[in-house]
Structure 1
Amino acid sequence: MTRLLPHSLIDLEAEQNTLRVVGDVGMTAAAELAAAGKKWLEATDEKSVVFDFSGVQKASSAIISVLFEWLRTCKAQKIAVSTIMLSAPLERLASLSELDALIHSLALPL
């Protein structure tokens, strides 16, 4: 496991083909988080990735924005997203925003 973001409130970890976020992401940390994940995605040789947000217990639109930034990067790099795991609070936010079907439909090979 490689820690990609040295931040006191959140962790961004890369392990094999998985990017894992742990902690609560607010607007302040979201840009840093998005940039660190994007940098890893642009440098990886992986053809398929997993996004694991199951360790995020506070739902916020900031983390959804991070997810969409990483999805755009995957599309540009021709990396398939095999799985997107959301915590229960993020699932509820995605459902309330009517983004859940979209998010889970994007977790398909390119």
Structure 2
Amino acid sequence: MTRLLSQPLATLDVEQSTLRVTGDVGMTAAAELAAAGAKWLETGGEKAVGFDFSGVEKASSAVMSVLFEWLRTCKRHHIEVSAITLSAPLERLAALSELDALIHSPALTE
């Protein structure tokens, strides 16, 4: 496991081609997480990646914006998204926002 970013309340790690976010992601942390993850995606040379948000206990639109920034980066660089794992609070937010179908679509990066 490699730590890409450590903040007082949130961390970003990469393990086996999966970006893993844990902690409480607020607006300030979200911007830095999005940038650090996008940089890794752009320079890592991965053909397929996963995103794991199961360690995020609080649902917020800031977290969802990180996810969508990474999805856009993957699309630009032709990186397949093999899996997206959300915590229960984020799953509820995605469903309420009617974003769950988009997030779990097999054609995310086509």
Fold shared per TM-score above 0.5? yes
**CA offsets per residue over residues 3-60 of structure 1, 9 Å max, x none?**
0002111110011210000001011111001000000000112100000000001000
Identity over the aligned pairs, expressed in percent? Answer: 75
- Alpha-carbon distance between aligned partners in 1 of 2:75 and 2:36, rounded to the nearest angstrom: 17
Gaps of 5+ in 2: none
Paired residues of 2:78 and 2:109 also in contact (CA < 8 A): no
- Alpha-carbon distance between aligned partners in 2 of 1:107 and 1:18, rounded to the nearest angstrom: 18
Paired residues of 2:47 and 2:79 also in contact (CA < 8 A): yes
Gaps of 5+ in 1: none
Partner of 1:98: helix, strand, or coil? coil
- Alpha-carbon distance between aligned partners in 2 of 1:32 and 1:61, rounded to the nearest angstrom: 15
**Matching residue of 2:99:** 99
**Matching residue of 1:34:** 34
Partner of 1:105: helix, strand, or coil? coil
Report deviation, 1:99: 0.4
Q: Aligned-pair RMSD on alpha carbons? A: 1.3
Partner of 1:84: helix, strand, or coil? strand
Q: Aligned pairs, how many?
A: 110
- Alpha-carbon distance between aligned partners in 2 of 1:67 and 1:35, rounded to the nearest angstrom: 11
- Alpha-carbon distance between aligned partners in 2 of 1:96 and 1:4, rounded to the nearest angstrom: 31
